[in-house]
């Protein structure tokens, strides 16, 4: 994984971690349910964005390298992963 991608992923995950802690605090403070649900939706969107970034990097690095080595098994592995992400 390229260092700049790793750094971007870690920054995004730290932000998401903070959002999740915030949601936990909202639940503890009995905040209005709709507000909590909106924050949960934001976290889910943020996680999907992290997944897209990682998937892009994976395709351009890991998958490409394995294809260059004639390891076509990586295609099935990649398709399985994409299928899980699309659920």
Spell out the per-residue pLDDT of the chain, length 87, in tens. Answer: 889 999 999 999 999 999 999 999 999 999 999 999 999 999 999 999 999 999 999 999 999 999 999 999 999 999 999 999 888
Instruction: Give this prediction's pTM.
Output: 0.84
Token code pair at residue 78: 């990649």
The parent domain of residue 38 ranges over 3-85
Cα 45–Cα 78–Cα 5 angle in degrees, nearest 5: 55
Residue 42: HSE in the Cβ half-sphere, 13 Å Cα cutoff:
15
* CATH number of the domain where residue 47 is located: 1.20.58.1000
The helices-and-strands tally (H runs, E runs) of the chain is 4, 0
38 and 1 Cβ atoms separated by less than 8 Å:
no
Into how many domains does the chain fold?
1
Report the run of H or E that residue 73 belongs to, with start and end.
Answer: helix 73-85
């Amino acid at each position: 994984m390229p260092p700049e991608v790793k750094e971007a992923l870690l920054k995004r995950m730290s932000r998401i971690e903070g959002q999740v802690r915030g949601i936990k605090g909202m639940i503890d403070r009995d905040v209005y349910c709709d507000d909590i649900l909106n924050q949960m939706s934001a976290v889910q969107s943020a996680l999907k964005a992290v997944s897209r970034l990682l998937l892009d990097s994976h395709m351009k690095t890991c998958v490409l390298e394995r294809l260059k080595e004639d390891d076509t098994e990586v295609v099935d592995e990649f398709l399985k992963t994409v299928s899980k992400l699309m659920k």
